[in-house]
Amino acid sequence: MSFADLSDFQQPRDLQDALLILDKYGDDTLIVAGGTFVHGLNARGFLDEVEVVLDISELPLKNISHSKGNLSIGSTATYNDLLNSRPVQSMAAFGALKDALGYPPPQIVNVATIGGCLAASCPLFDLPTAISALGGTLTSESSARKKTYSLDKFFTGLFESSLGTGELITAIEIPGNDKSTSGFSKLETNANDLAIINAAVSLTFKSGLLNRKRKCITARVFLGGGVGDTVMRSPSVEAILSDGEPITDDKIENAVAAAKIDVTAQGDHRASAKYRQKMIEVYLKKAIARAMARLET
């Protein structure tokens, strides 16, 4: 946090003021909402050129609304506000989001924001994996235009995203319906830890969730943690789960074993590649189990 002397610190209450500040200072601006990864960015050398902090935590971007099944979240809504919202608490479709938001400790949940998390574009975080599985999109604004990005195309590399200079994420949209369930699970060494591996699964059933036969027709499966420069999708696992038939224990075993076709885990000082590769299967299974358990309630 205490990097080289700043030349300005602004905390606007109006979005247009914020966008003008971004236009004025461009890439020399550090945009801060909860600020929970500023230390992480600083330690990795990303803040060496920062001249100005733009604190957006007072902007009116905290609204959470739910319409026709879809969740609309202002980019500076906190994890706490989102976790306590009725759709996240009650809808099986948003289960992966509820699971992911439940991991960090109170000091993080009280101030961290979805916008900040996604903007950092870090596969070691949890929300990119969870929201990718839910097929989320995000909206950004600059003084020139509004843009919408599908998360599938938003993350372009490690700490790299499609956001251009002058753009601020203003909202995230997550589709939901009553025919889907989802789950997320994470391997961490303590509550403040980045993911060693995390997994998120969203499953959609032909005749809805109450039908006992529950034929799965769509699956979205994403992995994060040390799996690559961005979160990774696993079409091989998706194909096995969404074959139009009910999900059985055998099918789950086959599905998680197929993850290695699409995802090769990385080794680093936090975990070996071999360990991570094994944990991909374990945590994918846990994420599927969490999604399926929601059907029993």
Site for other proteins in 58-87 (CB under 8 A): 80
Q: CA triplet 90, 231, 180: central angle to 5 degrees? A: 30
In this structure, how many other beta carbons lie within 10 angstroms of the beta carbon of residue 284? 29
Structure tokens at 134: 């839910």
Q: Among 3, 23, 46, 139, which residue sits at the site for other proteins (rule: CB under 8 A)?
A: 3
Q: Among 14, 143, 150, 191, which residue sits at the site for other proteins (rule: CB under 8 A)?
A: 191
Q: Does 270 bind other proteins (CB under 8 A)?
A: no
Q: Does 38 bind other proteins (CB under 8 A)?
A: yes
In this structure, how many other beta carbons lie within 10 angstroms of the beta carbon of residue 40? 15
Residue 196 CA to residue 188 CA, distance in Å, equals 6
Residue 262 CA to residue 248 CA, distance in Å, equals 22
Q: How far is the CB of 85 from other proteins (least distance, A)?
A: 16
Q: Does 35 bind other proteins (CB under 8 A)?
A: yes
| In contact, 126 and 184? CB cutoff 8 Å | yes
Q: How far is the CB of 267 from other proteins (least distance, A)?
A: 23
| In contact, 10 and 53? CB cutoff 8 Å | yes
Q: Does 8 bind other proteins (CB under 8 A)?
A: yes
Q: How far is the CB of 125 from other proteins (least distance, A)?
A: 14
Size of the site for other proteins (CB under 8 A): 31
Q: Would you tell me which residues interact with other proteins (CB under 8 A)?
A: 1-9, 11, 32, 35-36, 38-40, 43, 53, 55, 57, 80, 104-108, 110-111, 190-192
